Structure 1
């Protein structure tokens, strides 16, 4: 089956879309478990429990719209918990994108944009069309399949990197500067450098056991996962489950 035919077949897309969301939610749970603080153990435990419930709900979603609703509600709880784990002056009220309203959101958006570019490259290298998505709609001009591939790597590669940079002071309040229109904030040049350095250190980290029979840097894992996503699209019966990371 070609990629185009697969992406037009809702009955084939839905199981893979469910798997993509379930993988992301599992990784969000593991990020919270890793970065949790002793004084916030109850908050982390409750949020992780809600995320595990969302994993089950995602597996039973009747369509992509319902699936996206499950993911959106779970991610809102996840980011509320992430905020609580940051130093008080770094906390944010919600995930904001266009424009980002504070330093954590500016850092997340900037790093997600970098990761999205890498996902596009990984899909092209795997012989896939980045604009034909499974979870994200292919009807607009976004690289929808790259956004799909990116989902499970957001918490793995970006969220925990940004949290670490904020908690260690490598990203600081002064790294947020007003956007030209005054409606949000951007990262300063020094802030971008700190973020890119931290992101690259994560991408170069050696990993074993995340994907069966495969080891290497997180960047290599991203490219290998793109190949496995392609296999799930063109090979009937192949089950994509995402990386295993604890």
Structure 2
């Protein structure tokens, strides 16, 4: 149950409909709810008021160690990782292309501009290593954000893609959205008994949920970039809010 400061119930949600919960700032959950979430294997992610990830609460009840053993073996299979990385990168590039086309309402671009995206997908098929795939993806990302910048209004234009700290409004929105997406994928991974520490593209290192980073790649344009563009386009968020 969600209540306001006057203890009036605003909404009731079945725990069976919840994959994970994200808490920002000083919002609080009752001890009773935390216990229920733990029993149902629902992770809780805590963020600062600025969107910085702080920590998570997880009961690990959903962990399937047999699955994780097979997952670990697959993560060391170079052929499997190469195949999956190609699929993820190709899907991401096509999603980037489709988003640019969807928001290019004034016809700023033509098929010549988009050829490099399709050519990149073709190049992925012959890639021989993960580093080659990431190189192709990185070059396309520069083109993608260059074109994307041409489609946003002046208050949200940006020089280049940057992360922490965000140097402009547009990147601040992207980084905030990506941090939420990252946490959601961690929750889904754990919910399915897998380990977020074994991936296919990103190299494992301490405290990095590499599988979440892998799986979220193709969804960045579809979920976060599209949401940010839509909010700006419809005036739901303005430059003065920053």
Q: Which runs of 5+ in 2 are unaligned?
A: 1-68
Rg (Cα) greater in structure: 2
TM-score, normalising length from structure 2?
A: 0.69
For the pair 1:11 / 2:79, whether they are aligned, the reply is yes
Runs of 4+ in structure 1 deviating by more than 3 angstroms, as ranges, are: none
Which runs of structure 2 are paired with 1:157-168 in the superposition (5 Å)? 157-168=223-234
Does the CA contact (< 8 Å) of 1:103 and 1:175 recur in 2? no
Aligned to 1:132: 198
- Between the two structures, name the one with larger relative contact order (CA 8 Å, sep ≥ 6): 1
Partner of 2:5: none
Q: CA deviation at 1:27?
A: 0.7
Match in the other structure for 1:28: 96
Partner of 2:169: 103
Q: Secondary structure at the match of 1:62?
A: coil
Instruction: Report the equivalent of 1:70.
Output: 136
CA deviation digits over 1:54-98, x for unaligned, max 9? 111122211011110100000110011111001123211111101
More helix by share: 1
What is the Cα deviation at residue 21 of structure 1? 0.5
C-alpha distance in structure 2 between counterparts of 1:78 and 1:140, whole Å: 30
Equivalent residue runs for 1:168-183 within 5 Å: 168-176=234-242
What SS class does the counterpart of residue 2 from structure 1 fall into?
A: helix
Asked if 1:81 corresponds to 2:147, the answer is yes
Which 5+ residue runs of structure 1 have no aligned equivalent?
177-246
2:156 match: 90
Please tell me whether the aligned partners of residues 86 and 166 of structure 1 are also in contact (alpha carbons under 8 angstroms): yes
Q: Pick which of 27-36 and 132-141 moved more.
A: 132-141
Q: What is the alpha-carbon distance in structure 1 between the residues aligned to residue 96 and residue 228 of structure 2?
A: 14
Kindly provide the CA deviation profile for residues 100-139 of structure 1, in whole angstroms up to 9, marking residues without a partner as x: 1111100000000001111111111122111111011113
Distance 1:100 1:113 in 2: 13
Q: Contact 1:47–1:78 (CA<8 Å) still a contact in 2?
A: no
How far apart are residue 39 of structure 1 and its match?
4.3
Query: Does the alignment pair 1:150 with 2:216?
Result: yes
TM-score of the superposed pair, with normalisation by structure 1: 0.68
